[in-house]
Structure 1
């Protein structure tokens, strides 16, 4: 065997060894899942796609998709047979793309990609209904009208309370007012019926001082 042949064999052996080490190291590394994008905010009726990317793209794998109401809540497996939900494969990963069509408000939630019991970080999807400007303006006007009506009612209650307090104060002043003294000598009134003789007797005794009394 020539020196050249030996050299070539050693080179091939070394290359094969390095390749085997690289494959072994890649196989022993922990699987990592990433998702793109991480957030969607769309209106109803739209279409979105979520990508699941494995750190071991050179190895065949199968992705499964789960949904949860929030990040920290329990996940449920998504049935791909639904009319508005589809999956597509990418590279060596089967079902790597989740497609949601004709989005509705009940599609809102967090979607997770899972490969070999390893879950991705999740993609949040928020779905909102289109805003009707006319309805918004009408509701705003109704709300403003209710606020004004409440203010008027409050002002009327305050005015009624103040008027009642003023009325009570005037009544109290009338109660404590001193009575008029119109007839000071009312108690000395003499009955005219049969009282003429008595009046005459009083007039007799009411003589000025120094005058002689009739019995003297």
Structure 2
């Protein structure tokens, strides 16, 4: 019996807790917004809606860099000149962003009575001035072409300089003298010309004949 009473009391407490803190489903519309800067309609509106009327309803807006960012890392969106909170009724809450900029890109969450919404992603890109973009593209192509010409000129100058240096080295270089095959050999002339003195020596050698006298040059 006591267990039955304890169970009934527990169920009663749970029912009271649920009644005081009802689980509410929060939706956000739209889920994605794409915008460009410098547009005439440069105002974005994010709607946060609950499935039932909540009184009182406390709403807060947060911004994250991406969808999977932790709740503790989400930054509070402060109301100001460009960010305005608008509450039409207890079920609908609005975040109005005026003059959207590139830095406004991110994921915006509404938090209604401690219940998080699914988030709305806002992507803002810069307005492209087509004539100006084409002019920049042509200038970039011209600079690339000019850089190519300068590089080719530098390479040509280096090659020409190396060729001139090689020619200069070839002109300075002297070939060594050809060594004579008989260099270092000494021929004795016996005090006169070699061929002019051969006849007298031959006569003397003939006169001595078989005596075996030595020649004067020996």
TM-score range, shorter chain: 0.5 to 0.7
CA RMSD for the aligned pairs?
Answer: 3.5
Equivalent pair of 1:70/1:110 in contact (CA under 8 Å): yes
Residue 47 of structure 1: aligned partner:
43
Gaps of 5+ in 1: 1-22, 182-201
Shift of residue 151 of structure 1?
Answer: 0.9
For 1:158 and 1:139, locate their aligned partners in 2 and report how far apart those are by CA, in whole Å: 29
For 1:39 and 1:122, locate their aligned partners in 2 and report how far apart those are by CA, in whole Å: 9
Q: Which of 27, 31, 36 is the aligned partner of 1:38?
A: 31
TM-score by length of 2: 0.60
Equivalent pair of 1:68/1:75 in contact (CA under 8 Å): yes
Evaluate the alpha carbon distance shift between residue 61 and residue 113 of structure 1 in structure 2; reply closer, same or farther with a 3 A threshold: farther
For 2:118 and 2:147, locate their aligned partners in 1 and report how far apart those are by CA, in whole Å: 50
For 2:77 and 2:175, locate their aligned partners in 1 and report how far apart those are by CA, in whole Å: 93
Equivalent pair of 1:61/1:115 in contact (CA under 8 Å): no
Gaps of 5+ in 2: 1-14, 179-191, 202-218
Residue 75 of structure 1: aligned partner:
75
**1:66 has 2:61 as partner:** yes
Shift of residue 141 of structure 1?
Answer: 1.5
The secondary structure found in structure 1 opposite 2:118 is: coil
Evaluate the alpha carbon distance shift between residue 82 and residue 135 of structure 1 in structure 2; reply closer, same or farther with a 3 A threshold: same
TM-score by length of 1: 0.60
Shift of residue 84 of structure 1?
Answer: 5.7
Judge which range, 37-46 or 67-76, deviates more: 67-76
Residue 87 of structure 1: aligned partner:
86
